[in-house]
Amino acid sequence: MRFEKWVSALLLLQLCCFSCGSCGKVLVWPMEYSHWINMKTILDELAQRDHEITVLTSTGSILIDPTNVSLLNFEIYPGPFTKEDFLTISAKMIEEYIYELPSLSPWEYATKMQAIFFEYSKATKQLCESVVLNKKLMKTLKKAKYDVVVSDAFAPCGELIAQVLGIPIVYTLRFTTGNTYEKYCGGLPSPPSYVPVVFTELTDKMTFMERVKNILYFLYFDFWFQNFDVKDWNQFYSDVLGKPGVP
């Protein structure tokens, strides 16, 4: 009888351990618009499975709405932009992409596209600074003892937050400019003769000259285009970490 009691106690202990191990505390560094819609689907599923999800969101966020009833928790931080500022910045970039880029020559396209994304990089860095340089907020996040950071790979900062907190990071991805991450990190087949480059006006049905143009876009995004200002971010990571850091 005594042996049976020990076996029962051991089984109960294992069940308790497995129960605790099946859920965890997740901190999220999100992006706006379609990237958030994509990520929220994943986060809702994790929350349904009893993971504790906390989303970092600024006071100027657009689609990320903490007032909506959901299983997600939100850590709201004072951001550098109001909601109106954020809408103005976003609307300007979208307007330039839709109405200006298609009419430009390849060289003008390359210059304008880089300028748009450097502007996006600057805005993202300001949001990142609002979190990482906020000592009170970072102290709260450390005290919460999160298990992992989930971040959209399209924007820097999630990995910096993870390094400061000393926890792992998991990336989710909507898409990247020129399919660069998908090709070289995800191994996604992207033959330039058939797959149009993201952020161009080309479709999956291309003439011969459009295929040639698509190849040129591939080369541009692979070798010259920067999704963010690497030099600026490298310096910021180094300043925060106290050692050289690469986003």
Domains contained in the chain, CATH given: 25-83+121-176+229-242 (3.40.50.2000), 179-226 (no CATH)
CA distance 122 to 15: 49
Nearest CA to 186 out of 197, 173, 202, 198 is that of 173
**Per residue in 189-236, pLDDT tens?**
888 888 998 888 888 899 999 999 899 989 999 899 998 999 999 999
> How confident is the model at residue 87, as a pLDDT?
85
**131 is written with which tokens?**
């979190």
Angle at the Cα of 38 from the Cα atoms of 32 and 44, rounded to 5 degrees: 105
Q: At what angle do helices 158-165 and 135-144 cross, to 10 degrees?
A: 70
Alpha helices in the chain (DSSP H): 2-21, 34-48, 83-95, 106-132, 135-144, 158-165, 180-184, 208-223, 230-241
pLDDT of residue 56: 96
Quick check: 189 and 167 in contact, CB under 8 A? no
138, 157 Cβ separation under 8 angstroms: no
* CA distances for 18 relative to 24, 27, 52, 129, 148, angstroms: 12, 22, 16, 38, 18
The pLDDT tens digits for 51-84 are 999 999 998 888 888 887 678 999 999 988 888 8
Closest CA to 222 of 172, 170, 185: 185
Lowest-confidence region among 29-33, 42-46, 187-191:
187-191
Token pair belonging to 163: 């390094």
